[in-house]
Amino acid sequence: MNTDKPRHYFSNNEVREEIVQLDNNFFRITYFWGLKPNTLVFTGDEGIMIIDPGQRPMAGRLISAINRICSGKIFYLVNTHPHGDHISGNGEFSREIPVIWHDSLDDFTIKGITKLKNRPFPSCRHFNLFYTMIFNNADIWFIPFPGIHSGKDIMVYFPSWNIIHMGDLLLTQSFPAIGYKVQDYIKFLGILQETFPSRTKFIGGHGHELDMNGLQEYEAMLKNTVEEVRKEMKTCKNLEELQRRDILKEWGIYGEYIGFLTKDYWIESIFRSI
């Protein structure tokens, strides 16, 4: 396992391209256009797996980037959930490449994916279902966890490297896109910390990657915003007034990375969850 610091590459084209090498076998690719989704590329002796090909207008550049940094055939596309900013790029790849996503996991059991009958280790008790496959001589786990962000979310975990792509179950530089399920989501972040090893690297659907300390800091930020809204609600029960007061100004940077996930959105999410 490569323990060097990630290497960053940038293009000078109109839309900024960021490629971060997470390990010898893994690259995170992001185009700073639209909602800026993250693509994870896993490469090895057998070929390439692409997790969340992203937005269709950027697919051509994504393919060019993969050709620059990897060699081999693209064997699989994986979609962490069915939102367009993560999957519209699928159409620019060959139709012969199989797409693994929430609703196809059972179908893929005849093509090498196994549904585990038992939890792979005791700390996984909060998750009810696991699928696994071997590709590039490595185990890959697909862990369905629908209901917080969308009805069809899966996490993709590479235990040999302690790397997990969370899809939009984790937005590392913005408030989470979870509607009014604030307390459920904070509990979910605690479950992640309990389940996965301390050296795990979490790849969000948008934003930079986090280590376990970063995940804990993100959870603490959310808890602090909840307490701030709760405190202000003791003297003000009007949502619009709370938003006008800009009570989350201290955490304003998290309302800037993705346009619609603003401070006002997060105040309302907390307000309606209490």
* Domain that includes residue 12, residue range: 7-273
Residue 200 — very low, low, confident or very high, per pLDDT cuts 50/70/90? very high
pLDDT number for residue 223: 98
Domain assignment of residue 234, yes or no: yes
Domain assignment of residue 131, yes or no: yes
> For residues 160 and 10, what is the distance between their CA atoms, to the nearest angstrom?
28
Half-sphere exposure of 108 (CA within 13 A, CB side): 21
Query: Which one, of 54, 49, 38, lies nearest residue 88 by Cα?
Result: 54
Q: What is the pLDDT of residues 18-63, one digit of tens each?
A: 999 999 999 999 999 999 999 999 999 999 999 999 999 999 999 9
* pTM (two decimals): 0.92
Mean pLDDT, rounded, for 66-93: 95
- Per the CB < 8 A criterion, the answer to whether 8 and 37 are in contact is no
Give the whole-number percent of the chain exceeding pLDDT 70: 94
Residue 2 — very low, low, confident or very high, per pLDDT cuts 50/70/90? very low
3-state secondary structure of 157: strand
Structure-block tokens of residue 270: 């907390």
What is the DSSP-derived secondary structure letter of residue 124? G
Domain assignment of residue 2, yes or no: no
Domain assignment of residue 103, yes or no: yes
pLDDT number for residue 8: 45
Mean pLDDT, rounded, for 207-216: 98
- Per the CB < 8 A criterion, the answer to whether 63 and 49 are in contact is no
Domain assignment of residue 82, yes or no: yes
> For residues 129 and 94, what is the distance between their CA atoms, to the nearest angstrom?
30
Look at the chain and report how many structural domains it folds into: 1
| CATH number of the domain encompassing residue 160 | 3.60.15.10
Domain assignment of residue 256, yes or no: yes
**What average pLDDT does the chain have?**
92
- Per the CB < 8 A criterion, the answer to whether 97 and 59 are in contact is no
pLDDT number for residue 122: 67
Phi, psi dihedral angles at 69 (to 5 degrees): -100, -15
